[in-house]
Amino acid sequence: MTTDSRAELPSWTSLASHSTDVQSLHLRELFDQDAGRGERFHLEAVGFYFDYAKQLVTDETLRLLLELARESHVAERRDAMFAGEHINVSEDRAVLHVALRLPREETLVVDGVDVVAEVHRVLDQMARFANSVRSGEWRGHTGKPIKNVVNIGIGGSDLGPVMAYEALRHYSQRDLTFRFVSNVDATDFVEAVRDLEADETLFIISSKTFGTLETLTNANSARAWLLERLHDNTAVAKHFVAVSTNAAKVAAFGIDVANMFEFWDWVGGRYSMESAIGLSTMIAIGPQHFEEMLSGFHALDEHFRTAPFESNLPVLHGLLAVWNRDFLGFSTVGVMPYDQYLHRLPAYLQQLTMESNGKHVTFSGERVTYETGPVYWGEPGTNGQHSFYQLIHQGTTKVPVDFIGFARSLNPLAQHHDILMSNIFAQAEALAFGKTEAELRAEGADERALKHRVMEGNRPSSVVLAEELTPRLLGSLIALYEHSVFVQGTIWKIDSFDQWGVELGKQLSVTIIPELANDAPGDLRHDSSTNALIARYRALKENGQGS
């Protein structure tokens, strides 16, 4: 097995030995020794107050991590990304989601084309269409305005749109209903359209390739559903639009390419929510709010591109993630938004982080000799507190947590918001400092339960605090995580922009689909377990048909 040289960088070696010192420290000591720690270990930028004082780090840790960023050439690779170089090495592509949020007056020429002009051409097309749907000017086949918008897509063509719609629901046009269909399980589609009138429903078929089996299966069922109700093929043009890079396949499906919203192969699926894939978002919140969201993305991009590393939010966030993963050995990260509107953020971040950094070979194809992307998971607070937080507080595995919260609620109501936010601060405090046996005894705790009640503490967390959840803030928040993922991937020397790992399962399912038919030949050529499962599935299916 060949090895990779990242782990031989001087800063990596120093961090490895430094981590043994840090592991013998407790956050209680770190705070006791430095009264100003809470003030010093925070960063304020682009509308965020980022508190990382409760991470298990010292000044020396931060110094070494910044050195690691320099030795890993994070700045050089960042600049290469912004310049449109083909940093997606395994697919030989530029990675230019940052171009999706460049202001109109900028230019960025890639392979002879000004991509900013292209981006704004499509944004203008989206805005015209979104306005016509929102105003009721766009009419369905029977002349009625659109009341329902159903986005059909999966993965990067679904998770961003759902997350953004939910996050920005406060800003949405309330007389429009939005549904999101992703799963090839028919239940997803059937339940999404059950109470909708076909002649008031617009389907957005979102698929970069327009070749994804789940999406095309759902799109075909949507067309059949519409035609069963409107009995006229010409209705498709009024009720279907597409978001894709593949005009030929869009036309073959029967969608007028005049109603196709384009994006480009330099936009990765999980980095596409602010491209035309965000058409449902724009219809929901309107072009003005969408533009504000883009400006938030751009502000964070500019910060990432220009701020010195020691005060660079995504650099610091990414470095802390590497520290926790590789040097402290934490294998998962909890993302806990204390805002109900962000309830789909953990699912969105799961794809962004794990599809990007769940890799085990380096740019040049060598197997890594260190850990890469951790598992991300989470739930909105305070719900998680009444469920799995027990393990985070007292379990045998430590879970670094990102808490996300806002100073102002979009729905101020009695004392709700202070109660909500008190929980972020309390949870972070409890995780860091815990409760000792002596403290419990002093409080007069029952001796019999004493050991069970001890909270060791020393469990790291960060708090991302902002004023209010606005479209602009959401853009900045997503860009923060995008660039943090980039920093981590660069340090790990992995291609954060491909996703070959999802291919094998797709190919195998294509082989298996015909084998599941009732009249399929019986000779199966899989392993004995898969053969037995397929045979039993078919037998059970036939049983049902006979009853």
Residue 190 CB, shortest distance to ligand G6Q, in Å, is 21
**Alpha-carbon distance 40 to 43, whole Å?**
8
- Selected from 157, 275, 427, 458, the binder of ligand G6Q by CB under 6 A is 157
| Residue with the shortest CB distance to ligand G6Q | 155
The answer to the question of residue 423 lying near ligand G6Q (CB under 6 A) is no
* CA R_g for the chain: 25
Site string for ligand G6Q, 205-224 (x = CB under 6 A): --xxx--x--x---------
- Selected from 84, 268, 378, 381, the binder of ligand G6Q by CB under 6 A is 268
Pairing relation of β-strands 177-181 and 148-152?
parallel
| Tokens of residue 103, six digits | 């202001």
Q: Which is nearer to ligand G6Q, 51 or 355 (CB)?
A: 355
Q: Which of 355, 393, 417, 515 is catalytic?
A: 355
Query: Which contiguous run of DSSP H or E holds residue 109?
Result: strand 109-110
Q: Which is nearer to ligand G6Q, 134 or 208 (CB)?
A: 208
- Residues 6 or more apart whose Cβ sits within 8 Å of residue 194: none
Q: Looking at residue 53, what DSSP letter applies?
A: T
* Residue 386 is among the residues annotated as catalytic for this protein: yes
Q: Which is nearer to ligand G6Q, 30 or 192 (CB)?
A: 192
Segment near ligand G6Q (CB under 6 A); pick from 67-75, 217-225, 266-274, 418-426: 266-274
Task: Count each helix (H run) and each strand (E run) in the chain, helices first.
Answer: 22, 13
Query: Which contiguous run of DSSP H or E holds residue 297?
Result: helix 279-306
Segment near ligand G6Q (CB under 6 A); pick from 155-163, 232-240, 249-257, 281-289: 155-163
Residue 67 CB, shortest distance to ligand G6Q, in Å, is 32
Distance of CA 376 to the CA centre of its chain: 10
Applying CB under 6 A, what is the total number of residues that bind ligand G6Q?
Answer: 14
Site string for ligand G6Q, 19-58 (x = CB under 6 A): ----------------------------------------
Q: Which is nearer to ligand G6Q, 88 or 172 (CB)?
A: 88
**Alpha-carbon distance 355 to 270, whole Å?**
8
Q: Phi and psi of 375, rounded to 5°?
A: -80, 130
With b for 16 or more beta-carbon neighbours within 10 A and e for fewer, the 487-511 pattern comes to bbbbbbbbbbbbbeeeeeeeeeeee
- Selected from 46, 64, 154, 349, the binder of ligand G6Q by CB under 6 A is 154
Site string for ligand G6Q, 306-345 (x = CB under 6 A): ----------------------------------------
- Closest by CA to 27, choosing from 331, 306, 431, is 431
Q: Which is nearer to ligand G6Q, 133 or 273 (CB)?
A: 273
**Alpha-carbon distance 258 to 445, whole Å?**
72
SS3 of residue 384 by DSSP: helix
Which residues sit opposite 402 in a β-bridge? 335, 462
Which residues sit opposite 240 in a β-bridge? 203
Per CB under 6 A, contacts with ligand G6Q among 169-188 are none
Q: Which of 228, 231, 386, 452 is catalytic?
A: 386
Residue 26 CB, shortest distance to ligand G6Q, in Å, is 40
CA distances, 201 to each of 141, 178, 337 (Å): 10, 10, 32
CB of 153 closer than 8 Å to CB of 207: yes
CB of 325 closer than 8 Å to CB of 398: no
Residue 338 CB, shortest distance to ligand G6Q, in Å, is 27
Query: Which contiguous run of DSSP H or E holds residue 150?
Result: strand 148-152
Residue 494 CB, shortest distance to ligand G6Q, in Å, is 15
The answer to the question of residue 362 lying near ligand G6Q (CB under 6 A) is no
Residue 73 CB, shortest distance to ligand G6Q, in Å, is 24
Q: Which is nearer to ligand G6Q, 201 or 496 (CB)?
A: 496
- Closest by CA to 355, choosing from 337, 334, 371, 373, is 373
**Alpha-carbon distance 114 to 8, whole Å?**
41
Q: Which is nearer to ligand G6Q, 11 or 218 (CB)?
A: 218
Q: Which is nearer to ligand G6Q, 267 or 319 (CB)?
A: 267
* Residue 120 is among the residues annotated as catalytic for this protein: no
Residue 500 CB, shortest distance to ligand G6Q, in Å, is 10
Residue 101 CB, shortest distance to ligand G6Q, in Å, is 18
The answer to the question of residue 355 lying near ligand G6Q (CB under 6 A) is yes
Q: Which is nearer to ligand G6Q, 269 or 457 (CB)?
A: 269
* Residue 105 is among the residues annotated as catalytic for this protein: no
Cα Dmax for the chain: 78
- Selected from 269, 457, 460, 471, the binder of ligand G6Q by CB under 6 A is 269
Residue 212 CB, shortest distance to ligand G6Q, in Å, is 3
Per CB under 6 A, contacts with ligand G6Q among 492-511 are 499
Pairing relation of β-strands 461-466 and 401-406?
parallel
Sheet holding 240-244, edge to edge: 177-181, 148-152, 201-206, 240-244, 260-262
Residues labelled as active-site residues: 355, 386, 506
Q: Which residues bind ligand G6Q (CB under 6 A)?
A: 154-157, 207-209, 212, 215, 268-270, 355, 499
